[in-house]
């Protein structure tokens, strides 16, 4: 572990401790919620880093499986605790929000930072284009049950069945495409392992355990905190949960853009959105069957629409083959307008 790893680990420990204090000492919900969100974001980053270290030790094919399975742990924990409390809308908007946060906000920040530092960046790798295509296709599949529910009366009566069918198709597609494709996502970095196996497993286990604990506190504080702040559950899921649980982790993508490796930045960021659509979402749909209120893929209509728009835009900005900081600024602006649309509650 280098100095920076140790600093990150230290910050993680402090944030978890602070979240624990806020939770058990009955801090105001807003404070407890805010600290827990920061702690989760840091833990998601640590889990991401540790799975990547693990990946460098495994064959590339096993690495793909491990990274997909473990990298999404923090968001999975939050989803399970939220489902347990019946907060299905928060979970739905967090899933869609993860796709949007990555493919619009984080990608926008990568373009902004990369463009400001290095001028116009060109990316011509077919791999980045292919990931964008697959993400757009997967997001389209994900949006169909909602569209069917909103615009086709006969299907609306069978929302749950259609939703399970769709989740099954996504999961099959994940397992079918996993060996050949997703594994390729991280191997290109080509760096040797920086952590010993013992350290890697220790950090991974510790961070995952801490993520499970903090997720519980986070979800407990979520409802009172959002009410105190006047934000809707949709906004909490779409923006706060999605950014803390999934998107902050992809700051690494922004760093790649800053170091003028735009192809790799795009692959990392968009691949994360792809995994949410192909793996995490159907997994949670099936998991929800064991809870009192099950979760369907029938999202609030606007959520499905912005999912489609975000997916289309991802392909658009990747296909044009170059990025400028202006393009990044407009993406960030788009994200802010999408987020604002969900601020108000019912």
Per CB under 8 A, contacts with a second copy among 41-100 are: none
Q: Which of 189, 199, 255, 301 binds a second copy (CB under 8 A)?
A: 301
Q: With respect to a second copy, which residue has the nearer C-beta, 207 or 279?
A: 279
300 contacts a second copy (rule: CB under 8 A): yes
344 contacts a second copy (rule: CB under 8 A): yes
What is the widest separation between alpha-carbon atoms in the chain?
A: 60
| Listed ranges 37-45, 70-78, 130-138, 237-245: which one lies at the site for a second copy (CB under 8 A) | 130-138
Residues contacting residue 93 through CB under 8 Å, at least 6 positions apart: 233, 234, 235, 236, 237, 238, 241, 242, 299, 300, 303, 342
H or E segment at 322?
strand 322-323
CA distance 31 to 40: 14
Which residues on neighbouring strands pair with residue 323, listed in sequence order? Answer: 121
- List the structure tokens of 195: 């952590």
Q: Which of 5, 160, 213, 345 binds a second copy (CB under 8 A)?
A: 345
Task: Please name which of 45, 9, 67 lies closest in space to residue 250, comparing C-alpha atoms.
Answer: 45
CA distance 179 to 296: 28
| Listed ranges 49-57, 69-77, 241-249, 300-308: which one lies at the site for a second copy (CB under 8 A) | 300-308
Q: Which of 137, 192, 236, 284 binds a second copy (CB under 8 A)?
A: 137
338 contacts a second copy (rule: CB under 8 A): yes
Residues between 9 and 28 with contacts to a second copy, criterion CB under 8 A: none
For the chain, the residue count is 346
Q: With respect to a second copy, which residue has the nearer C-beta, 191 or 320?
A: 320
Rounded to a whole number of angstroms, the minimum distance from the CB of residue 300 to a second copy is: 6
Residues between 314 and 333 with contacts to a second copy, criterion CB under 8 A: 315-317, 319-322, 324-327, 329-331, 333
Q: With respect to a second copy, which residue has the nearer C-beta, 252 or 306?
A: 306
186 contacts a second copy (rule: CB under 8 A): no
- List the structure tokens of 337: 């307008």
Q: Which of 138, 248, 254, 273 binds a second copy (CB under 8 A)?
A: 138
Rounded to a whole number of angstroms, the minimum distance from the CB of residue 27 to a second copy is: 29
125 contacts a second copy (rule: CB under 8 A): no
Residues between 140 and 179 with contacts to a second copy, criterion CB under 8 A: 140-141, 144-145, 147-148, 150-155, 157-158, 162, 165-166, 169-170, 172-173, 176-177
Q: Which residues of 175-213 are buried (b: 16+ CB within 10 A; e: fewer)?
A: eeebeebbbbbbeeeeeeeebeeebbeebbebbbebbbb
| Listed ranges 76-84, 85-93, 125-133, 216-224: which one lies at the site for a second copy (CB under 8 A) | 125-133
Rounded to a whole number of angstroms, the minimum distance from the CB of residue 71 to a second copy is: 19
Cα-based distances in Å from 96 to 139, 187, 214, 299: 9, 27, 22, 9
Residues contacting residue 277 through CB under 8 Å, at least 6 positions apart: 99, 135, 138, 139, 141, 142, 170
């Amino acid at each position: 572990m280098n100095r920076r790893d140790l600093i990150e680990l230290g910050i993680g420990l402090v944030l978890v401790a602070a979240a624990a204090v806020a939770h058990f000492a009955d801090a105001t919900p807003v404070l407890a919620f805010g600290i827990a969100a920061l702690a989760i974001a840091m833990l998601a980053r640590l889990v991401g880093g540790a799975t990547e270290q693990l990946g460098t030790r495994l064959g590339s094919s096993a690495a793909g499986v491990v990274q997909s399975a473990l990298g999404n742990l923090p968001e999975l924990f939050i989803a399970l605790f939220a489902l347990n409390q019946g907060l299905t809308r928060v979970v739905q908007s967090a899933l869609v929000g993860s796709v949007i946060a990555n493919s619009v906000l984080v990608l926008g920040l990568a373009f902004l930072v990369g463009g400001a530092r290095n001028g116009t960046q060109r990316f011509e790798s077919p791999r980045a284009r292919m990931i964008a295509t697959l993400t757009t296709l997967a997001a389209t599949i994900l949006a169909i049950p909602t569209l069917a529910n909103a615009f086709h009366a006969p299907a609306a009566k069978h929302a749950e069945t259609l939703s399970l069918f769709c989740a099954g198709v996504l999961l099959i597609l994940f397992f079918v495409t996993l060996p050949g494709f997703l594994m390729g996502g991280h191997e290109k970095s080509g760096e040797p392992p920086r952590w010993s196996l013992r350290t890697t497993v220790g950090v991974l286990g510790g961070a995952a355990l801490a993520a499970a604990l903090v997720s519980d506190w986070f979800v407990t504080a979520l409802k009172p905190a959002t009410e105190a702040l006047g934000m809707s559950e949709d906004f909490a899921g779409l923006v706060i949960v999605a950014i803390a649980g999934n998107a902050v982790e992809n700051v690494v993508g922004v760093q790649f853009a800053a170091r003028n490796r735009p192809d790799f930045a795009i692959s990392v960021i968009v691949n994360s959105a792809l995994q949410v659509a192909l793996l995490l979402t159907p997994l949670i749909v099936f998991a929800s069957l064991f809870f009192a209120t099950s979760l369907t893929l029938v999202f609030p209509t606007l959520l499905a629409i912005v999912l489609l728009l975000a997916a289309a835009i991802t392909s658009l900005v990747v296909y044009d083959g170059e990025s400028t900081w202006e393009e990044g600024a407009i993406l960030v602006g788009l994200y802010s307008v999408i987020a604002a649309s969900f601020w108000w509650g019912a």
